[in-house]
Amino acid sequence: MASAGASAQQDLAVEADRVSKVFGGKTEVRALDDVSVAIRRNEFFTLLGPSGCGKTTLLRMIAGFEPPTSGTIRLAGKDITHLPPNKRPVNTVFQNYALFPHMTVGGNIGFGLEELRKSKAEVEAQVDKMLQLVRMESLKARMPSALSGGQQQRVALARALAPHPEVLLLDEPLSALDLKLRKEMQTELKRLQSETGITFIFVTHDQEEALTMSDRVAVMSEGRILQVGSPKDIYINPVNRFVADFIGETNFLSGTVEGSAVRMSWGDVLDVKTGRPAGTKVTLAVRPEQVRVGVAGKDSGAGATVTEAVYFGTDTHLHLALADGTPLVARLQNPPSGDDGLGVGAKVTVRFADGAVKALED
């Protein structure tokens, strides 16, 4: 079915092209604001953002539950913007699972295949295969109300995967599970994705989930996509303050551009590329694990005072104040002795790992 020359489009599973969604009513809400994103075939793609950022709205549009106010949604290059959900080869795992309470586990999983008018034997075989895939073989005849939350989650997954959709949409599917089960399901989802070869679009507000599971992440805020990239890319090179703050922990510093370097608020000059003219005020970010803490009078670096030391077992978070009062958190791995002797009030020096300080867009 592949035609030569369409390879660029063939590689894309889903494209949103300048999609906007305005919810009417007395106060207009712009849930999505001119969003464009291209999701590749077979990738685990995550839409990450705080609640109300538009990630679920975008997902519902790809599923066909909600029409965009403007813009186009394409599936494998085909315009599906106005196709109803039952005509899209896309399935959804719902946040509350939405299992049919009057059907057995097997009935739930077979629903989509039956609606696709598959033969009885085919449905039966595929249901069994799915039950095996999610390791629920023994529960085929159970009713959903007789299942635990984790089991319901697996049935919901199996039901959505059974018709072998081109794209699987997952709407915060792990949010209702407890921590241990959630970790288990994260691994499980990765396994299912690589075993089935289906494109997964995953919605979450949990940055750790996004970092550990995804091939690529789109960080969203207030109806816009701020940055798309691999988890590493987004963690190391956040484009702006929101992304840096939302993904992991970050220290924000301020400085003024001086030539090809930046003069920091406490007077030191750091070699940071900004691409902005001299005299411009810039915000910079540095991760706590990239802060090197030394002994005052022995190691070089900017002087700082410990204001608080929080012990976390594997590491200690040192809250520091630089000469001008700028707060800074350093994460230090704990030595075998368990104590680095840095208490509140201790004088230390601070350096940053090479390339660890990043200038942010405003």
Partner 1 sequence: MAERKRRRFSITALPGFSTLAIVTFLVLYVPIVTMVVYSFNASMSVAVWGGFSLEWYVYAWNNTLVQEATVRSVIIAVCASGIATTVATMAALGTTRRGRYKGQTIIYLLINQPLMVPEIVTAVALLIVFASIKVATGYTGLAYLIIAHSAFCIPFAYLPIRARLEGMDLTLEIASADLYASPWRAFRRVTLPLLAPGIAAGAMLAFVISLDDVIITEFVKSAGQDTLPTYMLGQLRRAVTPEVNAISTALLVLTVLLLTLFYLLTRRRD
Burial class of residue 145 in the structure, from the number of CB atoms within 10 Å of its CB (0-12 exposed, 13-18 middle, 19+ buried): exposed
Q: Which of 211, 281, 219, 291 is closest to 251 using CA atoms?
A: 291
Q: What are phi and psi of 340, to 5 degrees?
A: -100, 5
Q: What residues between 108 and 147 interact with partner 1 by CB under 8 A?
A: 111-112, 115-116, 145
Closest to partner 1 by CB, 110 vs 255, is 110
- Using CB under 8 A as the binding rule, whether residue 96 contacts partner 1 is answered as yes
- Using CB under 8 A as the binding rule, whether residue 23 contacts partner 1 is answered as no
DSSP state at residue 50: S
Contacts of 168 (CB under 8 A, 6+ apart): 90, 91, 92, 93, 160, 161, 198, 199, 200, 201
Contacts of 126 (CB under 8 A, 6+ apart): 110, 113, 118, 162
Classify 62 as helix, strand or coil.
helix
In the block, tokens 């630089």 appear at 322
Task: State which of residues 9, 65, 252, 317 lies at the interface with partner 1 (CB under 8 A).
Answer: 65
- Using CB under 8 A as the binding rule, whether residue 90 contacts partner 1 is answered as yes
Task: State which of residues 17, 94, 261, 294 lies at the interface with partner 1 (CB under 8 A).
Answer: 94
Closest to partner 1 by CB, 68 vs 107, is 107
Task: State which of residues 100, 149, 295, 335 lies at the interface with partner 1 (CB under 8 A).
Answer: 100
Task: State which of residues 7, 27, 51, 86 lies at the interface with partner 1 (CB under 8 A).
Answer: 86
Burial class of residue 193 in the structure, from the number of CB atoms within 10 Å of its CB (0-12 exposed, 13-18 middle, 19+ buried): buried
Q: What residues between 242 and 271 interact with partner 1 by CB under 8 A?
A: none
Q: What residues between 148 and 177 interact with partner 1 by CB under 8 A?
A: 159-160, 163
Task: State which of residues 71, 85, 150, 327 lies at the interface with partner 1 (CB under 8 A).
Answer: 85
CB of 4 to partner 1, least distance (A): 31
Task: State which of residues 38, 98, 261, 332 lies at the interface with partner 1 (CB under 8 A).
Answer: 98
Tokens of 101: 């309470």
Residue 29 CB coordination number (10 Å)? 13
CB of 45 to partner 1, least distance (A): 19
CB of 68 to partner 1, least distance (A): 17
> Which stretches of the chain bind partner 1, using CB under 8 A?
63-65, 84-87, 90-92, 94, 96, 98, 100-102, 111-112, 115-116, 145, 159-160, 163
